[in-house]
Structure 1
Amino acid sequence: MKPLGKVLQQADLISSEQLEIALQEQSHITGLRLGEILALHGWLKQETADFFSQQWPTLLEQKTKQPLGKYLEKAGLLNQQQITTILVEQQQKKLRFGELAVLKGWLKPTTIKFFLEHLALESQLQQYLTQQGASPSSQSPVQIAKLNLEMVLPQQNNLKVSNPVENSAFAANSIEQESARLRLFSRSTIKLFKLDEKASNPEVLLAEVLAWTDGQPILTQKLCRLLAESEVEIAAGAEAATVQQLVENSLIKNWETQIAAEHLQGIGDSIIHNQQCDPLSLLELYQRIWQAGEINSNDSPEQAELLRLRLVVQKQNQLKVANRIYQAVFDRNWIEQESVKIKLFSRKNAELDAKASDPEVLLAEVVAWTNEQPILTQKLCQLLAESVVHLTAGSEVGTVQQLVENRLINNWETQVASEHLQYIRDSIIHNQQYDPLSLLELYQRIWQEGAVPTNGSSAQAELLRLGLIVEQQDQLKVANRIYQAVFDRNWIEQESVRLRLFSPSNIKLYKLDEKAACPEIVIAEILSWTDGQPILTQKICQILADSDIFIAAGAEAATVQQLVENSLIKNWETQVAAEHLQSIHESLIHNHQCDSLLLLELYQQIWQQEEIPNDDRSREQAELLRIGLVILKKDKLKLGNRIYQAVFNRHWVKLELEKIIRASLAQTTIYNPIPATHTWTVGNTVTSPEPKGTKRFLVLLAIAGLMVCGSSVMVLGFSVFRWLQVETIFKQGNALLQQGKHQEAIAKYNKLLKLDSNYYQSWTNRGYALAGLKDYNQMLESCTTATIINPEAVYAWNCRGEALYNLKQSEEAIAAFDKAISFNPKDPVFWINKTEALITLKQPDKALETINQGIKLLKQIWETERKDANAKELAIGLTYQARVLLQKQEYEGALKAYEQALKYNPNYFIALRGKGIALQNLKRDDQAIAQFYSLIERPQLTNNEKAEAWYYLGLSLCKFGQAQRAIAAFDQALKLKPDYPAAEQGKRACPS
């Protein structure tokens, strides 16, 4: 009979290193068996060791054979629930018992083969190996293991027991024997992981490890392995800090991608997908234990299940979370999120199901706004459940958006989620642990930049704890779109000003405690005029500080109003805020980003109507916001404050408009616009409006020559005013084009061309507007007309190329793009458009040369300007480079290009999707699957983008041999996009 250690090693249940250490320890300590030592380390269950030492020799002699599952259950390698699951799935999937055990990651293929060779019938072994595609004689255990390396579910670690000290199966129970076990555990662990070489005091180091893991074998092993692999020498006294840093950075933070991810995910999944108890009941029980620290034990099935899963332990009739790592990973946020998922995505929500033709899409739209925040998700679902409208397919997006805006965001202080949102606000503004102003400034950075890197600061940790932000891939982002809309830039600025003003130091600085009976009310009155604008607020406070008045209770409003009107508004050009107000005036009248006439007209509209809808595509709106003259509140543009409203009033606007018109009559250049940022999209590129060339009228000379007769002066006057009319219409058309109002823009351009048919810029931009309507034949006619009028009209040539490309005349399109490049070789748009055409013609070498030139130009722009828009353009260029490399079948290069693009724009859908496609082509299907799953979870995707992600996920799953899951993915794609032939074809082609 073979020794126990050899048998266990052949069954691939322990490693040669583990066996060697156990044998050495056995030689030093009497009274312990080899199996007990292995179990003490957590390398093997005690029942498994007992099975092989006591039952295995007898079973080898028996001729009558039992089913494989019976042996595996006796050996403690599978439990009854796992066996039942496999037997059920066998009927559906028609796979062998052992193969399913391996597929689920419960056993290694070499272990299955060991049992089949020694106990099962020869036919079972033959069938198992035939299923794997080989005969018993042709495959070694290593080869069989290799066959199963690419299974979707990872196999579990052999370390499956809980605390080896608490659950030991030794016969002796004396204090001396227990001490011997502990000494053995410490000595062998220190020796195994060479902790004596890493630390001055290895016993203290191990004690710090156990303080985090409470002896949980897998976590203990992972943490000791990290210490063993580190290059740091741990001095005496540094043990606690070193272990804590390792635990937080390599186990807890972003735990889903860390070294213990498999184990922790298994714990989480065992609760969320529990077959013995209601998962929600388990979560609620665990939440009670987590919050209270410990609760009294009883005989409830839920407590028994949590103990069985070893997420909690029992000590002196009290249940506690098993260790500090579990406590940090499976925290309140995790509990709340998983509870929401169970409630939302279970099919028990009959009320919500009855509200929509496609409840899954409806729930996805809810989550797109809430990002699964429990309270907001519950509130929004409740609103949907209470509504009387039945949602048809396709109406989910608009309905959910309307509910969110009207019932949660607008006037949120009085809406259904007011209590929760007020709690978030108060937790920041009245924070007792950290400086509220620092928290606001950090949140402002995250809000403005979209994402900031994590750095482990206490302020970041506090915002994460409050739930206002979340961490994703080492980046901090606002937790959801509702928080982003409620706690927006205007809110941040207002609260920042309030914090500064209401602080005792500021009240003292401006002597408001000496100047007013109720300084807080005075501050509130000041803010009602300035709306938190820092300079104006400071000026009024300074006026108060310098005055001799005392403001009695009840006189605050009248006193502040009088100060504002007399010292800021009247004759504002010579008052205390003159410099600030003059800068606002200059930014409007002499603006370098937008046409001043259009800015004034927009401001006049806001002043008259009090508010107008926000349009992200309007350059004029963006400029007024940048200047600070208007603010954005609940997706509406409003005047910045009452002082601006009084200074820059209707009369002021009228005077300034008249000045601009008079100045225009004296100018000799008709129009000199500032070029807009280049923009393009795949397939249907719409480039910036065509800039007009210099066109001189020589007005003074004309006047001198025509003074002879009055009628000529009348003709001149008519020409000048017609020119002004043409220019105004052209600007209006461009504004409409930038807003995506293509039909209205075309009407403006047509109107202009009736006045001046040679205005080639109007023909060009009319072509771009027609592109927006996908009328490429008329687009081609319009842009060709522009090139005939002015053969050097660079954007007209680009427009012509785009029209030809969309009409599938790629060679002619390339010729047009080459014309544009010859006139302006420094515009990357033309190089990228040419690349698109070359890709269509399957000329990858020329395409690569072309796109590399475009990327070079984009990098030059990025290095010069460093704007967010430039980064996004560079990401587009790199994505084109990746597409070319895919066509050349250089998949590694394509993957690198997509990853480079995502560094410049982490949210670029085409690059995210392309990365998955590159991984597919590299046959790294498991990574491709992970990529598409992560893409699907992004909240900002359109339905078409989600459909594409599901489609590509289906392709990967199909290639990976997961036919059922692949077909489910294709079905999801077709739900989102019913007219999707590729998904239909993928579904038919995937073998079931």
Structure 2
Amino acid sequence: MLSDCAETTPEAQKARPLGRVLQQAGLVSRQQIKTALEKQEKEERRQRLGEILALQGLLTPKTADFFAERWLTIARQKSQQPIGQYFKEAGLLDESQIGLILYEQGQTNLKFGELAIRKGWIKPATRDFFVEHFTSQPQMPSVDYEHKRKIHQDFSKIRLRLFGLNENSLPLDILDEIMLWTEGQVFLTQKLCRLAVETNISVGEEKQIEQLVRTRLIENWQQGIAAEHLSEMRDRLLHNRQCQALELLREYKFIYRQQIEFDESEEQTELIDLGLVKEEEGRLRVSNRIYREVFSLSWIESNLNNLSQQSEQRDRSILDDSKTAPKITRTNLAPDAKTNRSNRWSGWLSLLIFTVFLGVSIPYILQRWQVRTLFLTSTELLTTGKYQQAIAGYNKLLNIDSNYYQAWTNRGYALSGMKKYEQMLASCSSATLIEPEAVYAWNCRGEALHNLQRNAEALEAFERAIEIAPADSIFFVNKSETLLSLKQYDEAVVASQRAIEILEARERTAGKARVAGELATAWNYQAKALLEQQQDRAALAAYNLSLEYNAEYFPAQIGKGITLSNLQQYPQASAVFENILRKDGLTKIQKAEAWFYLGKTLCNSSQVFSGIAAFDRSIELKPNYEAAKLAKARCQ
């Protein structure tokens, strides 16, 4: 059944089992198919193979359905849709991912599938399968120009909004000209956008951007609008902690003169981490025109000469220094204030010695120390609920280093604490633009979109987080909540089940206390989905499991009572609601909700007067509770 014989025509594919198709498409392994088939054989109610793989979290239900029911029909048609549309139909890429790839195609001229592979969204085997079966030739189909242009414009509008701008203040054609210089580097792009707005450049005056770049940024760049950013880049290149500056600069020279292959050397990796160079199709090049003109060949040669002379001088002085260097001795100190002062200054003395020894500039060290301190201080404020102070701290940090994506992410969570979800979305989206693999930034973005009731977009963000970190349960938990809002209950069950599996595995090693809160939430979401599907007994079991992990979890307590009432177990349901109302610490809204469901239960069990009294208590706590007013009228 899992033999590897080659069958490439649609007719030959007709009899091919689903497992072999998925394996050829690079979506599952041979062992995963074997395990799923063994599970299928053991079950009394034979599930489809695709269902089993989806429940195991190896495929999405959309992908399983596509390959089980539709792929062969599409393959026979050999229509000329862009390859990205096929990936979308198969549930392998979403609109935001396709838009980003199309945008980058315009910047790099790379093929769609190649960019999807480089981002880790599609495997090479998957790309090859789609090219073979869904296109009429072994080339990526050309993307419709107008469609591509629209995607590009939509992405540009998002970028403008992140910078607090719009098309009226900065036309998209001007932004495109800026992007030719910055290639999307966030700090430089933002600076040039602001400068273009201040100088009132309009459509038809795109060429003025080059004049602005040269006069305000490149020429005398130490005093220009990006002086701080470029100075930091220079210092990190010439006074690097990870590599010898001389070797790092030599490697940069090779890349500057011609694109070279990426061999994952320490120097090449560090240059990529610095943001000075980027890797494309296995080759390295300077990241953008601005860096190329500031850190030019003449600048490289000058600094290579200086570094070589410094190296020679250090080598000559080592022996002399070792003979004459004084020994450090402990002075006589009082055991009180002087001792504390000594401890306080010893750290700075060590830092000074360290920077002199490595040749690292003290201003750079002080700046990085300041950034790190601001981040830790602001994060502590965030965790203690001091959101306004935390935001002020992150803002100060980002004025120093606007590429610190972790600060953008945490700033978003602080804004969430203040229920400023539009600003939260902008902050977290900035983080994903700076670092597309920033998994918690995608999660933050998803939470913002969910709170703004933009659930389809929120789902895409959570799915992106899952692609980056498929073993992190919180993304599956958030995904299941969003699926509930979209009324996609089957998918919500699958997502919550995957979260539960991950958490139960962690429970076996880390203990129940470490995962109890998350497991209570995951079981609660699964119960809600089952309840919506009218699977009341399964929902009741899930609510009980949720409460096993957190007996005080209000949503699970309410859900359990509702389920018992659905099962016409009215005394047990009433007992649940009454038990909730005896608890301390409930908010008025929670009390109103408990009284409301108690009233419904009492009315359903023909205890009309008690039910009406319960509704009255609910309305007293929440005067605008229309559902309670309507239920009271029906009960009467």
What TM-score, normalized by structure 1, do the two folds share?
0.29
Higher relative contact order (Cα pairs below 8 Å, separated by 6+ residues): 2
* Structure with the greater alpha carbon radius of gyration: 1
Higher helix fraction (1 or 2) = 2
